[in-house]
Structure 1
Amino acid sequence: MASRRGPPLVDPVAFDTHTHVWSADTAAFPFGPYDDVPVPRSPYPVEHLVRDLGTAGVAAAAVIQPRVYGPDHGYLDEVLRRFPDRLVGVCLADPLRPPSVEELRTRFTPRAGYRGIRMVGLGRDRSWPLAGADVWRAAEGVDAVLSLLVEPHQLRAVLTMARRHPTVTVVIDHLGYCRPGTPRRFVDDMLALADVPEVYLKLSAFGALSGHTAPFQDLTGLVSELLRVFGADRLLWGSDLPHALSYGEYSSSLEAARHHLSGIPTSDRNKVLLANAARIYRR
C-alpha cells in the first residue's frame, strides 16, 4: 500500500500551486466536462502526483478541480482525505451557477482540505469577471483564495472586481495568459493589478505560453517585469501538472522557474517557490 505521505522528501524546495489529477476509474469517477474541455487520453491519479512531487523534492501542492469533472468534486474530495499533509484543494465554481456560502462552508473546513475557489473565463467576453460577483462574495465568506483562469482581454475587469473586494486573496493563473506577442495594453492591465495588495500572479504553464523549449527563454522579459512591479512577495510558482509533462520532465518546470528567478536573492526565490504559497494556502 502506498504511504499516506508519499515518498520521503529530501530538502523540500517548493510548493506547487497548480496541479490536477483524474482517476483511472471512470466508473467510480465519471467525467462530466465543463465548457466542453477535452477528456484526458490517459489517467493521472493522485498516486502519480505524489510520486512526482517526492521525486522533485516538492513539499506540497494545490490540486485544482479539473474541468473534466465539472461540478462533481468526488475524486478531489477523496484525494484530500488521503493526503491531507501534502495536498490542499481548489474547488471549481461556475459564476453562472454560483455556489452559496452555505454550500462552500462544508468544504472549507480544516478537515476537508479546501483552500481555494477557481473560476474559468476562457472563451468568454471581456466583461466576464464582472458576472462572478456572487463567487467573490462567497470567497469572502469562507476566507478562500480566489483563483482566476482568464484571458488578457479580461484583466481590466478583474481589476474592477479586485478593487470592489480588496480583502479577497486573488491568484491569477498562468500569467493571465499573457505571452510573447500579447498586445502591450493587456500586459499593462496585468501589471495594474499590482495596485491591489491582495492580488498575486502565478508563474505557471510556461510550456503552454512559450514558443521555446525549457527554460522558456522568451518569457524572461515578462517574468522580470512581474518581479519589478509585484515583487517577490506576490508571485507564486506552479507547474500545471500533468499538462506540463507535455513540455518535459516535471523537474524541468521547477528548473525553468529557478532560471527566471536566478537574478534575485535566495530569500526572494524561496518566497516565490515555497513561502508565499505556504502562507496563502495556510500550510
Structure 2
Amino acid sequence: MATRIDAHQHYWNPDRGDYGWLTPDLTALYRTFGPADLAPLRTATRIDKTVVVQAAATIGETRYLLDLARNEASIAGVVGWVPLLDDDAPALIAGLAREPKFKGVRPMLQDLPDDNWIANPALAPAIEALITHDLAFDALIFARHVDALETFIQRFPQLRIVVDHGAKPAIRDGAAGWQPWADGMEKLARFPQVHCKLSGLATEAAPGWTEGTLRPYVDHLLAHFGPTRLMWGSDWPVLNLNGDYLTWHAVANELLASLSETQCDAVFGGNAAAFYRL
C-alpha cells in the first residue's frame, strides 16, 4: 500500500511564548498539541506520516519542531522559519539543512504588512541557499499576493514552491471572492515548479460547510494543477476552528473520487514525498 502523508499540520506549545497570533480567545487552539494528540486521528484515517509546518516566526520554534521530529517516527519532514533577509540567513539555512528532517522554509507572508515583500531582490542570497541545499518553499498567501509571488517564481525557476491552503480563497464570501482567487491560481499553475496544497479550505468557509461548498474550489485547483501537483493536508489543529480531521479527510476523498487509484495515491502521499524529498 502506498504511504499516506498529511502534507500540512502543526504542533505547538503556547507556553513557549512566540506564537503571536495564538491567543487565549482561540479556545479550540490555545493548548499544547503534540504527536500523541494526532496519533488516533492518523490511525483512523490510515495516515502514515506528516509534514509539520512552522506556526511562529522564530528560529526557536523551528528547532523545537526539529527536536520533536528526532523522536517521532511519524514526522517525515519539518518546514521551518528562517529570517530570510538577514545577512546570516545562508549560513543558517546550511546548518539547518544538516538536519535530516528539515525540508523547507515558510515565511508567514499573509501576516506581513507589505504584500510585495516576497518580490524583494534582497532575498536572493537566502533563496539561492535553499536551492543549493535542495530545500522547498511554502508560500502562505492570499490572492492579493499572486503578482508579487509570480515575480519571485520567475526570479528563482529552480526553487520548488508549494502554495499553502490553495491560497486561502474567500469561500465564505461566495461569488464576490471567486474571480480574483480563481484567476490568480490559474496564473500560478502555469509554472511547472509550483505545487498546491489541498488544505485549509474548511477554515475559509462559513460554519456548516459541506462537500458542495468546497467542490468548486477543489475542482478549480484540480483542473489547473492536476493530480500530480496537488497534495492533501489537514492543517490540523487550525482545522478545529471550523471542522475536524475525520470529516475533512472523508470529504477530501469524496471530492477526489473521480481520480484513479494511482492519482489518489499521489495526492494523498506520493506528491508530498517527492516534493519535500521525504
TM-score by length of 2: 0.86
Other-structure match for 1:114 = 102
Identify the match of residue 158 of structure 1 among 144, 149, 155.
Answer: 149
**CA shift for structure 1 position 52:** 2.8
Would you say the 8 A contact 1:128–1:154 is kept in 2?
no
User: 3-state DSSP class of the match of 1:182?
Assistant: helix
For 1:202-217, list aligned pairs within 5 A. Answer: 202-211=197-206, 213=208, 215-217=210-212
Other-structure match for 1:41 = 30
Would you say the 8 A contact 1:171–1:201 is kept in 2?
yes
Other-structure match for 2:220 = 225
The whole-number CA distance in structure 2 between the counterparts of 1:214 and 1:172 is 22
**CA shift for structure 1 position 82:** 0.5
CA offset digits 1:260-281 (Å, max 9, x no partner): 1112222212111111011112
The whole-number CA distance in structure 2 between the counterparts of 1:210 and 1:104 is 36
Counterpart AA for 1:62: V
**CA shift for structure 1 position 116:** 1.1
Other-structure match for 1:81 = 70
Would you say the 8 A contact 1:235–1:276 is kept in 2?
yes
Would you say the 8 A contact 1:214–1:253 is kept in 2?
no
Other-structure match for 2:234 = 239
Question: Per the alignment, do residues 196 and 12 of structure 1 end up closer, same or farther by CA in structure 2, a change over 3 Å counting?
Answer: closer
Identify the match of residue 172 of structure 1 among 157, 163, 166.
Answer: 163
The whole-number CA distance in structure 1 between the counterparts of 2:221 and 2:275 is 19
Counterpart AA for 2:12: W
The whole-number CA distance in structure 1 between the counterparts of 2:80 and 2:142 is 20
User: 3-state DSSP class of the match of 2:128?
Assistant: helix
For 1:238-277, list aligned pairs within 5 A. Answer: 238-277=233-272
Question: Per the alignment, do residues 222 and 99 of structure 1 end up closer, same or farther by CA in structure 2, a change over 3 Å counting?
Answer: farther
Identity of aligned residues (%): 22
Would you say the 8 A contact 1:129–1:157 is kept in 2?
yes
Unmatched 5+ residue regions in structure 2? 24-28
Question: Per the alignment, do residues 95 and 187 of structure 1 end up closer, same or farther by CA in structure 2, a change over 3 Å counting?
Answer: farther
Q: Which has the higher helix share?
A: 2
Q: Structure 1 residue 148 and structure 2 residue 134: aligned? A: no
Paired residues, what number? Answer: 265
**CA shift for structure 1 position 12:** 6.4
**CA shift for structure 1 position 212:** 5.0
Unmatched 5+ residue regions in structure 1? 1-10
Counterpart AA for 2:187: A
Could you say which structure has the greater relative contact order, defined with CA pairs below 8 angstroms and 6 or more residues apart?
A: 2
Identify the match of residue 9 of structure 2 among 7, 19, 25.
Answer: 19
